[in-house]
Structure 1
Amino acid sequence: MKYRVVIALFLTTFLLGGCGSLAGRHNIDSGFSYIESHEYQNALDSFTAAEENGEDMTLIHRGRGIAYLYSGEYDAAVDELMSSLASDNGLVDDMDFDTNYYLADAFIKRGEFTKAKEVYDAIIALKGKDSAAYYLRGTAELASGDHDAGYSDFSKAIAMNPKDYATIILIYKSLAENGYEDEGISILQKAMDNGSDFMTNFEKGQMSFYLGNNADAQSYLEAARNERNQEKEPVVVMLGQTGEKQGDYNYAISVYKTYLNEDPTSALVFNQLGMCQIRQGDYQGAVASFESGLALEDKALQQALMMNKITAYEYMGDFETASSLMETYLSTYSDDEKAVRENIFLSTR
């Protein structure tokens, strides 16, 4: 079938597609707000209320599709996103582009790379020189086993936007994950050689990290950490990872603790700190770090923090507490098959 097209905006795309908050969309707006805070069941409940209230079905199907996608229910996501496109007014707009991006992502999650590619084919046919669409189509082609087509699309994406270093790093990761790390490294090195005069210290630090130049990465990242206008959290996480990569957990812990002393509002950094403490055998310290992260109620990290806290108690040998926490975890994340198996193990201890 022919797919309507979508602007490929990665996972940071705007959820309402520019429609704004209009009269008669109260429940729809609530649903998208819940998606932004990672409360997907509440989002689905809001979209059900929206349907009962006679609100816009195009947005309702779209919202449900996104909620199902992020919940890991990919079949339902495809059905809802297709319904959203089918119920639209026939005029291709930014929201149609955006909805199709989610649709392609759902196809990829289902392992249907050819269908995802067809969506990106349609984007490129209408949008032309859209570097993001070429990158995304490349990932689908590479995942399907078509290395040459994927590499060709990656090359086109880079040629269109050679200073988009974030996408270049994503291309490296995609190649590395599919067994072509040498090609990815070559792309990174070329970008570093040609663009060092244009890159920020953070971008140089990232490039150096993935190139395996750890000392250079630390130097650039330390400089970036001290820059006034640089967002600090991603710098600190990667700087700590330079230590983790070498097994220098004391250094990583020092980096994370220094940051948290200045800004104790990062659940991500608390999680990184806790994982390092586990590796050092400081299980009590790890539990405290995970609890501090959980207290921040960052919906995107609650699941990981809860599971890592359980793991810390297991390493500690406190299987009773771990089992109790696992019951609570599964009451919220019942579809986590790995956790279900782990719960069976805990029940035998």
Structure 2
Amino acid sequence: MAVHSNKTATLIVMLGALLLSSGCGNLAGHKNVDRGLSYIESHEYEEAAACFDAAEAAGENQRILYRAKGILDKNLGQYDSAVENFLKSLAATSGIPGDMDFDTNYYLADVYIKQEKYDEAVEVYDAILALRKRDKDAYYMRGMARLYSGDHDGATIDFNKAIALAGRNYDLRIMIYKALSSNGYEDEGKAILESCLNNTDPNMTNYEKGQISYYLGNNADAQSYLELARNERDMDKAPVVLLLGQTGEKQGDFNYAISVYKTFLAEDPDHPDIYNQLGLCQTNVGDYEGAVNSFEAGLALGNNEYSKALLMNEITAYEYAGNFAQAKTLMEKYRKAYPDDKDAEREEIFLSSR
């Protein structure tokens, strides 16, 4: 099965080649594709594949169909096929590329990074930036690809460009700090965060000061700023509480963190990320039953963004409790939902020996 080169793909999509899809498929609707995407969200991959087969038979929009098939392949860990489908989607673009085409390029680059094909990923981001010269996300992601490939200087240039375009986006600076730190450049990452505090922004909130202090390791300062933020009337309390609890965790004070999380959830229980963090704390103090209950409460909220972490952490809690039978049962469920998780594959092998 032939796969286009990435250079060909970028020419097709980013320079807006006047390539029209053959037949009437490009003019058709996409109700089967939409159903298939819903199945992907609920990790029902066989049902999604059946919907995409039906979409193909019905002649639904090829650009949308191939993109959806690529997303399915990506979730299944079938990266070669995902690349091919994303390229087909891009090739079916007619005229000037739109938001969906840029989105597909991001998917394509992400798959290249998963394949450790960093040069190909960089080329995709090059193509995005050729048309969207102020796209801070593309600069950040190109910096990540360059960092992974060992191009530290190129990564630094891209990160600096992203920061320059990001205004008061402290979350982006924190993500860059994490990337540099985890790849052996912690001092450089810290310098980025320190500059946020040194060049004091008069509009910097207590939460933002707490965030920066937390990642710099200044836990006492972080706790002070976050306690102030927690008491502010119009502040979104959930991210404040999450980080405030983690200041306690970093100092080994899990009981403080547990108290912070439980107090908040008693008033506002619709936060799977905080249930997840509470469960991790309970696991750390040996309260495995409490941890399982917390992870289950988080899963019951049905938020797909956090279901993966919650389910894996629940498996770990059952393992620590010595309940390997339940851990195995949940691992089967996890592997069906997240077949591309290679770490879980190794964990499943470990559990099979128990």
TM-score range, shorter chain: 0.7 to 0.9
In the alignment, structure 1 segments of 5+ residues that lack a partner are 7-21
The whole-number CA distance in structure 1 between the counterparts of 2:176 and 2:267 is 34
1:78 is paired with a residue whose SS is: helix
CA 1:53–1:224 in 2, change beyond 3 Å: closer, same or farther? farther
Tell me the CA shift for residue 347 of structure 1. Answer: 4.4
Matching residue within 313, 316, 321 for 2:321:
316
Paired residue type of 2:178? K
Contact 2:65/2:89, CA 8 A, preserved across alignment: yes
Q: Corresponding residue for 2:225? A: 220
Decide whether aligned partners of structure 1 residues 213 and 316 sit closer, same or farther in structure 2, where only a CA change above 3 A counts. same
Give the conservation status (yes or no) of the 8 Å contact 1:38–1:299. Answer: no
1:60 is matched with which residue?
65
TM-superposition CA deviations, 1:299-318 (whole Å, max 9, x none):
33333333322322222223
| Counterpart secondary structure, 2:282 | helix
User: 1: distance between equivalents of 2:103 and 2:338?
Assistant: 28
The CA deviation at 1:145 is: 0.5
Contact 2:166-2:172 within 8 A present in 1 as well: no
What one-letter code is carried by the residue in structure 2 that aligns with 1:212?
G
Q: Secondary structure at the match of 2:305?
A: coil
| Cα 1:284/1:141, change in 2 over 3 Å | same
Contact 1:62 1:99 in 2 (8 A): yes
- Tell me the alpha carbon deviations over residues 24-53 of structure 1, each in whole angstroms, 9 at most, x when there is no partner: 221222234445556555444333322222
SS of the residue 1:281 aligns to: coil
Within 5 Å, which residues of 2 pair with 1:280-291?
Answer: 280-291=285-296
Q: Secondary structure at the match of 1:54?
A: coil
Contact 2:279 2:290 in 1 (8 A): yes
Aligned residue among 150, 155, 159 for 1:154:
159
| Matches of 2:85 and 2:308, distance apart in 1 | 25
Aligned partner of 2:257 among 248, 252, 259: 252
Aligned with residue 84 of structure 1, among 86, 89, 106? 89
Cα 1:338–1:117 shift into 2, 3 Å? closer
1:287 is paired with a residue whose SS is helix
TM-score using structure 1 length: 0.86
Q: Does residue 1:112 correspond to 2:117, yes or no?
A: yes
Distance 1:328 1:85, change over 3 A: closer
Q: Which residue pairs with 1:198 in the alignment?
A: 203
User: Bigger relative contact order, structure 1 or 2, given CA contacts below 8 A and separation 6+?
Assistant: 2
Query: Taking structure 2 as the reference length, what is the TM-score of the superposition?
Result: 0.85
* Cα pair 2:273 2:306 within 8 Å, conserved: yes
Report the residue type matching 1:288 in the other structure. N
Amino acid corresponding to residue 229 of structure 2 in structure 1: A
Q: Does the 8 A contact of 1:38 with 1:300 survive in 2?
A: no
Q: In structure 2, give the amino acid aligned to 1:5.
A: M
Instruction: Give identity over the alignment, percent.
Output: 57
* Larger CA deviation: 207-216 vs 221-230: 221-230
Report the CA distance shift for 1:270/1:56 in structure 2 as closer, same or farther (over 3 A): same
Code of the aligned partner of 1:254: S
What is the CA–CA distance in structure 1 between the aligned matches of 2:198 and 2:339, rounded to whole Å? 48
Aligned residue pairs: how many?
Answer: 334
Partner amino acid, structure 1, of 2:14: V
Mark the CA change 1:33 to 1:348 in structure 2 (over 3 Å): closer, same or farther: closer
**SS at structure 1 position matched to 2:294:** helix
